[in-house]
Structure 1
Amino acid sequence: MTAIENQHLDLTTIDFAAVTHSADLPQPMTPPIKQALYKAKPEDFVVNERLEVDFTDAGEHLWLHIEKSGINTAYLAKLLSEWADIPLRDVGYSGLKDRQALTTQWFSLRLPKKQKPDSDFAPVDIKEHETVKIIAEHWHNKKLNRGTHNANQFVITLRDIEFAKDQTLGDKSSVEQHLQTISKTGVPNYFGPQRFGFGGNNIREALNLFARPLKSTSSAKKKNKRKSAVREQNSMELSAARSLIFNQILAARVQDGSWNTGLNGDVFNLNGSGSIFASEYMDETLQARLASGDIHPTAVMWGTGNDKVAGEAAELESTVVQQDALLAALATGLEQREVKAQRRALRLPVEDLSCRWADEQDEEQTLVLSFTLTTGSFATSVLASIVQHLQLGSA
Structure 2
Amino acid sequence: MDIATITDTANLPQPSLQPIQQATYKANATDFIVNELLPLDFTGEGEHLWLHIEKSGMNTAYLAKLLSEWADIPLRDVGYSGLKDRHALTTQWFSLRIPKKQLPPTEFAPVDIGENETVTILAQHWHNKKLNRGTHRANQFVITLRDIQFASASDENGENDALPEQPLSAKEAVEQHLTRIGKNGVPNYFGPQRFGRQGNNVREALSLFARPPREPRPQPKKSKRKRAPREQNTMELSAARSLIFNEILAARVRNGSWNTGLAGEVFNLDGSGSIFTSETLDDTLHARIDSGDIHPTAVLWGTGNDKVTGSAADSESTVVQHSPLLMQLATGLEQHDIKAQRRALRLPIEALSWEWSDDQTLVLNFTLTTGSFATSVLASLVQQLIS
Q: Deviations over 1:97-156 (max 9, x none)?
A: 000000000001111111221111111110000000001111111111111001000000
Amino acid in structure 2 at the alignment position of 1:140: H
CA distance in 2, matches of 1:217, 1:228: 6
Structure having greater relative contact order (Cα 8 Å, sep ≥ 6): 1
Verify: 1:148 aligned to 2:135, yes or no. yes
CA distance in 1, matches of 2:277, 2:143: 37
CA distance in 1, matches of 2:132, 2:56: 22
Inter-CA distance 226–329: structure 2 relative to 1 (3 Å threshold): farther
Q: Secondary structure at the match of 2:264?
A: coil
CA distance in 1, matches of 2:2, 2:42: 49
Verify: 1:59 aligned to 2:54, yes or no. no
Q: 1:83 aligns with which of 56, 65, 70?
A: 70
CA distance in 1, matches of 2:344, 2:65: 34
Q: Deviations over 1:153-186 (max 9, x none)?
A: 0000000000001258761111011000000100
CA distance in 1, matches of 2:377, 2:214: 42
Verify: 1:387 aligned to 2:387, yes or no. no
Inter-CA distance 227–116: structure 2 relative to 1 (3 Å threshold): closer
Instruction: Show structure 1 runs of 5+ residues with no match.
Output: 1-13
Q: 1:370 aligns with which of 365, 369, 381?
A: 365
CA distance in 2, matches of 1:194, 1:262: 28
Verify: 1:165 aligned to 2:152, yes or no. yes
Aligned to 1:350: 349
Instruction: Show structure 2 runs of 5+ residues with no match.
Output: 157-164
Inter-CA distance 112–30: structure 2 relative to 1 (3 Å threshold): same
Inter-CA distance 140–217: structure 2 relative to 1 (3 Å threshold): closer
Aligned to 2:300: 301
Give the fraction of aligned pairs with identical amino acids, expressed as a percent: 72
Aligned to 1:46: 33
Verify: 1:136 aligned to 2:137, yes or no. no
Amino acid in structure 2 at the alignment position of 1:74: A
| 1:216 Cα deviation after fit | 5.8
CA distance in 2, matches of 1:194, 1:37: 17
| 1:217 Cα deviation after fit | 7.2
CA distance in 1, matches of 2:90, 2:338: 33
Q: Secondary structure at the match of 1:113?
A: helix
Q: Secondary structure at the match of 2:104?
A: coil
After TM superposition, the score normalised by the length of structure 2 is 0.93
CA distance in 1, matches of 2:318, 2:278: 20
Aligned to 1:202: 201
Contact map agreement 2:216 2:229 (CA 8 A) in 1: no
Q: Secondary structure at the match of 2:303?
A: coil
- RMSD over aligned Cα atoms: 1.8
Inter-CA distance 209–370: structure 2 relative to 1 (3 Å threshold): same
CA distance in 2, matches of 1:213, 1:87: 33
Verify: 1:228 aligned to 2:223, yes or no. no
After TM superposition, the score normalised by the length of structure 1 is 0.91
Q: Secondary structure at the match of 1:178?
A: helix
Aligned to 1:282: 281
Inter-CA distance 221–329: structure 2 relative to 1 (3 Å threshold): farther
| 1:19 Cα deviation after fit | 1.1
Q: Secondary structure at the match of 1:86?
A: coil
Aligned to 1:7: none
| 1:329 Cα deviation after fit | 0.5
